[in-house]
Amino acid sequence: QVQLVESGGGLVQAGGSLTLSCAASGSISSIGAVAWYRQTPGKQRELVAGIISVGMTNYLGAVKGRFTISKDNAKNTLNLQMNSLKCEDAAVYYCQLAIKGAAAVNAYWGQGTQGTVSS
């Protein structure tokens, strides 16, 4: 069994910063591709940033240069540093990790953490 616990969401003024974390625990042999998504009411969940493999990251155009995704393999933790936040960045943020357990690789989602940006 694998669990993902997100933390770090909150309220920040426009121009401020938030750091989101996603900690994985349980039966984990290895972690592959990882990503952060976000969703606002009435809209589809969108990919914000991802790490496909070592050295290969991708970002949503609207956050490129402001957000940084990173993975700590020793701690099984995924982070998203969000700087220069804008009102349109307000959303529920979800982490997704591809985790290999005893045999198979499965994709797991965090519970979501709210990021609110005030003007």
Q: pLDDT tens digits for the chain (119 residues)? A: 899 999 999 999 999 999 999 999 999 999 999 999 999 999 999 999 999 988 899 999 999 999 999 999 999 999 999 999 999 999 999 999 999 988 889 999 999 999 999 99
- Of 89, 83, 88, 100, the C-alpha closest to 34 is 100
Q: What was the pLDDT predicted at 103?
A: 82
Quote the distance between the C-alpha of residue 71 and its chain's center. Answer: 10
Residue environment code for 56-89, b if the CB has 16+ CB neighbours within 10 A, otherwise e:
ebebeeebeeebebebeeeebbbbbbbeebeeeb
Copy the structure tokens of residue 30.
């290895």
DSSP state of 79: E
